[in-house]
Amino acid sequence: MLNKFKRNIISSKSNIIFLSITSFLFLFLFGLFFRLSFSSIVAASIFFLLFNLILLYLVGGQRNKELDSIKDVISRIRTHSVNFDNEISLGSELEELEIEIKAMFLRSQNDIQNLKKLEQIRTEFLGNVSHELRTPIFAIQGYIETLLDGALDDRLVNRTFLQKANQHTINLNNLLNDLIDISMIESGEMKMSFRYFNVSEFFDSVLNEFKPQAVKKNIELQLLPFNHSLQLFGDKQRLKQAISNLLMNALKYTESGSIKIGVYEEENGAVIFVMDSGIGISKNDLERIFERFYRVDKERSRDLGGTGLGLAIVKHIVEAHGSIIEVKSEIGKGSKFSFRLKK
C-alpha cells in the first residue's frame, strides 16, 4: 500500500511542484486579503496539502495504469507475442496512441516479411548460380580427365572432346557475363547513356549478326517495313543486348518458319517487337519466364547453352527505359515480345 502510494505520488511529481507553489501563493494572498491569523493560514495550508496529495495519488494512479498498459503492449510486441494488430488495445483514453502503435506494428511486420523474402531470394539465387556453374565445370573436368587418361591419342574422339570442352567454357563465360550484367543492373552500377538513335541503322547492325544463324537453321529472318528516318530515345548498346537476347531466343525456340522484327509508331513513341513462329509458351510459364534462371524446358535450354538469365536481363534493360516488356504467345504457334520507347 505504502509502495503504491509512493509510486503514484512519484509518477505525478512534476505536478506536485506546480500545485504546491500555486497553492502556497493562493493561500498567502488569500490570508493577506482577508487578514487571517497565522494559525488559520497554517491550518488551511495543511488542509490543502492533504487535499493535493489525495488528488495527486489518484492522478498518478491513472497515469501508472496507462503507462503499464503501454509497457505491456510494447513488451508483447518485442517478444513476438502479438500476431495481429487487433490484439493491441490501450482503451478509449489512449485511442490515438493505440492507432500509432498498431501502424508501427504493421509496418515492422511488413519489413520483416520483406527481409525474409529477400533472404529466400538470395539463398535461391546462390543455389542456382552454384548449380549452373557446376554443370559446365564438371563437364570440362570430365573431358580433360578422359583425354589425359588416353583419349588424347585417340584420333577419333580427341578433337570432339576438346570441342565439347571448349563449348562449355564458352557457356561458362556467357553465364558469368550475364551474372555480372544482372548484378550491375540490380545494384544500379550499370551506367546507361540515353540518346536519340536511328532505328534503321540499329536494326541493320543487330540483324547482320543473326543472319548467319538464321540461314544455318533455314529460318527466314525478316525486318518489316517502317519509316527509315525514325529516331528513338534510349541506350543503343543496352537495347542491342535486349533485342539480341530476344532474337537468340526466337532462333533457339523456332524449328521452322520465320522470325519477324519491326517497329510501329505511336503518338509519343514506338513499339519494337520480335515475333517468331516457334514452339510458343504456355500461359502458366508466361508468368515466370522473366524470373532469373527460369526455363520452361531445363534440359532443352541447357543443351542449347542457356541458363535462363536472358529474359531477366531484357526485363531490366526495358524497365531502365521506363517501359515494360510484354509477351503474347500460344503453344505451337509462336511468341511475340514487345516494348515501347520514347520518340
Ligand X SMILES: Nc1ncnc2c1ncn2[C@@H]1O[C@H](COP(=O)(O)OP(=O)(O)OP(=O)(O)O)[C@@H](O)[C@H]1O
Whether the CB-CB separation of 169 and 298 falls below 8 Å is answered with no
- Segment contacting ligand X (CB under 6 A): 118-126, 196-204, 233-241, 296-304? 296-304
In the list ligand X, Mg ion, none, the entry touching 276 (Cβ below 5 to 8 angstroms by class) is ligand X
Closest residue by Cα to residue 272 from 311, 240, 304: 240
HEC assignment per residue over 30-90: HHHHHCCCHHHHHHHHHHHHHHHHHHHHHHHHHHHHHHHHHHHHHHHHHCCCCCCHHHCCC
Whether the CB-CB separation of 269 and 342 falls below 8 Å is answered with yes
Report, in Å, the least distance between residue 123 CB and ligand X: 21
Say how many residues touch ligand X, by CB under 6 A.
25
243, 289, 325, 341: which one binds ligand X (CB under 6 A): 289
Is residue 132 part of the contact set for ligand X (CB under 6 A)?
no
Report, in Å, the least distance between residue 229 CB and Mg ion: 32
* Beta bridge partners of residue 336, listed in sequence order: 275, 328
Report, in Å, the least distance between residue 321 CB and ligand X: 18
27, 56, 206, 309: which one binds ligand X (CB under 6 A): 309
Report, in Å, the least distance between residue 314 CB and ligand X: 7
Residue with cell 517487337: 273
Binders of ligand X in range 163-192 (CB under 6 A): 178
For residue 35, the tally of other CB atoms under 10 A from its CB is: 6
232, 239, 272, 311: which one binds ligand X (CB under 6 A): 311
Whether the CB-CB separation of 208 and 318 falls below 8 Å is answered with no
Which residue's Cβ has the minimum distance to Mg ion? 310
User: Between residues 252 and 321, which has the closer beta carbon with respect to ligand X?
Assistant: 252
Task: Decide the pairing of beta strands 269-276 and 334-342.
Answer: antiparallel
Give Dmax (Cα) for the chain.
129
Run of H or E residues at 342: strand 334-342
Q: Output the CA–CA distances (angstroms, integers) from residue 232 to 15, 194, 199, 261, in the order listed.
A: 72, 10, 7, 16
CA distance 263 to 301: 28
Whether the CB-CB separation of 136 and 169 falls below 8 Å is answered with yes
- Segment contacting ligand X (CB under 6 A): 19-27, 93-101, 203-211, 246-254? 246-254
In the list Mg ion, ligand X, none, the entry touching 253 (Cβ below 5 to 8 angstroms by class) is ligand X
In the list Mg ion, ligand X, none, the entry touching 307 (Cβ below 5 to 8 angstroms by class) is ligand X
- Segment contacting ligand X (CB under 6 A): 60-68, 95-103, 219-227, 277-285? 277-285
Report, in Å, the least distance between residue 163 CB and Mg ion: 23
Which residue's Cβ has the minimum distance to ligand X? 310
Run of H or E residues at 331: none
Binding pattern for the stretch 94-113 against ligand X, x by CB under 6 A and - elsewhere: --------------------
User: Between residues 60 and 310, which has the closer beta carbon with respect to Mg ion?
Assistant: 310
Binding pattern for the stretch 216-245 against ligand X, x by CB under 6 A and - elsewhere: -----------------------------x
Task: List residues near ligand X by CB under 6 A.
Answer: 178, 245, 249-250, 252-253, 276, 278-281, 289, 294-297, 301, 306-312, 335
